[in-house]
Amino acid sequence: MSTVAGFPQGYRIPQPRTSYSAPRGPLGPIIPILVDNRQGPDEYGNYNFNFETGNGISRHEQGTPTGPEGAVVQQGGWSFTFPDGTPARFNFVADGDGFRVESDLLPTPPPLPPHAIAQIEKARQENAAAAAGGRRPQYNAPPAPPRNRYSFR
């Protein structure tokens, strides 16, 4: 095999591409937008929107500025259908308490066992009694761990 300027015989230098668009694959079906309503934001910052597509996807939201800082309280939701036909619906609220989503599809923690509920109630009562008496609840430090004969302390 002979080489000229470091290239094997028969090698051709590739020509630069004149187009740099992404490769095109087959197009899927065109999904129509059935509803597209948008309002705002108005001069006060209020807004809302709602849209629905031909394949069952929907999304809605509204927002309103509140408080002295004008933080926007938002609420809304979205829905769609999974490929297996299961409907999915989600609703949310975003405000000073955070972002909370509700849906039957979201996991929920198991209920607290009765002993945990009793312990929480006992602590609440102790704190209320201490506050009524003008004193703070006292908590004792845990006992020191036992020292063994191999300890370097």
pLDDT the model gives residue 7: 67
Q: Is the pLDDT of residue 136 over 90?
A: no
Listed in sequence order, the residues at least 6 apart from 40 whose beta carbon sits closer than 8 Å to its beta carbon are 46, 47, 48
Question: Hey, where are the domains in the chain?
Answer: 30-102
pTM of the entire predicted model: 0.55
The per-residue DSSP string of 76-131 comes to: EEEEEE-TTS-EEEEEEEEETTEEEEE-TTS--PPPPPHHHHHHHHHHHHHHHHHH
pLDDT the model gives residue 137: 57
Indicate the helix (H) or strand (E) that contains 132: helix 114-132
